[in-house]
Amino acid sequence: MKEFISENHLIEFLEHEGKQFLDAHRSTGKLAVAPGKEIYYELYCETSARGVLVLCHGYTETCTKYHELIYYFLRHGYHVLTYDQRGHGRSFREVKNPHKIHAQNFDAEYVEDLNLLVQKIAKKNFPSLPLFLYGHSMGGCVAARYIETYPKVFSRCILSSPMFGIHVAGVPSSFAFLLARLMKRIGCGKCYTLGQQDFQPDEKFKKSNCTSAARFNRYNILRANTPEFMLGGGDYSWLSTALCAAARAVSRKETAKIKTPVLLLEAECDAYVPRRRIAKFRKNLPGTEYHAWRDTKHEIYNSKDPVVRAYCRTIFQFLEKFC
């Protein structure tokens, strides 16, 4: 794989040569998705690009976390458009507490924010290039719901550990959903869900969703020193709409609408997404290209070098089938 960055040099590279390279290719902006509500985006342009990769980050993340992946996409000849989803990073907040993630309607908010970004930025700047979609975790659920809602926009879609369900503090999903609906009904929709709280700066690598200490430390240091990145967790309103969206995303009715070829990437040691929901999506969309990664946690892209190499190689081979 071109220009691979090993764990031993990752932090130093992304602080110096890698940063200079990304800075030289990046422009930034804010897009109004509603009156007084703007989302932050980053657009990376490469000479003679073969397509545009739109990247959706996961729950409590920001697009800055994906700078290593963005570097690889650029080196392989793709423009990259990425953004901080509402309630995350440098985008607007729905509630006063900047640590808390709130949502009322997953599709009307997250999916439509993505659609506006695609129409106003990607298509406007690159009307003749094919569009490709990458989503991790919550971003994977957003991506899945997008290609179910707008089946003719993207030429290919990569779903990495997509949030097709949520393990909530060790309780069954059905109980978590009923609890979330009850809390909303009694006026506690903006209260943190079970096990969620404001940002805690002392997260330990062993309890993280990564298997690479270097990749974990790189973003953990950034997050601890950047107030906009200090995200805690979601409230009951977010949980309620996220569980609904996850269930819709894997349903037979919705998957039948998908026309975009899909690459589904699963971590076998995922503590966040129930594997049975991944299996349900595969069953309802038989043409899905699928790869599972052994001894790997939720953030496959933050694994050790051999896994990240194979992960990226799989993605680029999938994209190059179209290109």
Model pLDDT for residues 108-145, shown as the tens digit of each residue: 999 999 999 999 999 999 999 999 999 999 999 999 99
- The average pLDDT across 57-70 equals 98
Read off the amino acid at residue 244. C
Q: How confident is the model over 28-53, as pLDDT tens digits?
A: 999 999 999 999 999 999 988 999 99
pTM (whole model) above 0.95: yes
pLDDT of residue 23: 98
pLDDT of residue 322: 84
Q: For residue 33, what is the enclosing H or E element?
A: strand 26-34
pLDDT of residue 171: 78
pLDDT of residue 168: 87
Strands 131-136 and 51-56: parallel
Please state, for a pLDDT cut of 90, what percent of the chain lies above it: 93
- The average pLDDT across 163-177 equals 86
Residue 18: φ, ψ to 5°:
-65, -40
Position 240 confidence tier, pLDDT thresholds 50, 70, 90 = very high
Average pLDDT over the chain reads 96
Q: Provide the angle, in degrees to the nearest 10, between the axes of the packed helices 17-25 and 67-75.
A: 70
- Measured from the Cβ of residue 275, the count of other Cβ atoms closer than 10 Å reads 14
Strands 262-267 and 289-293: parallel
Q: How confident is the model over 248-269, as pLDDT tens digits?
A: 999 999 999 999 999 999 999 9
Please determine, for residue 26, whether its predicted confidence score (pLDDT) is greater than 90: yes
pLDDT of residue 2: 65
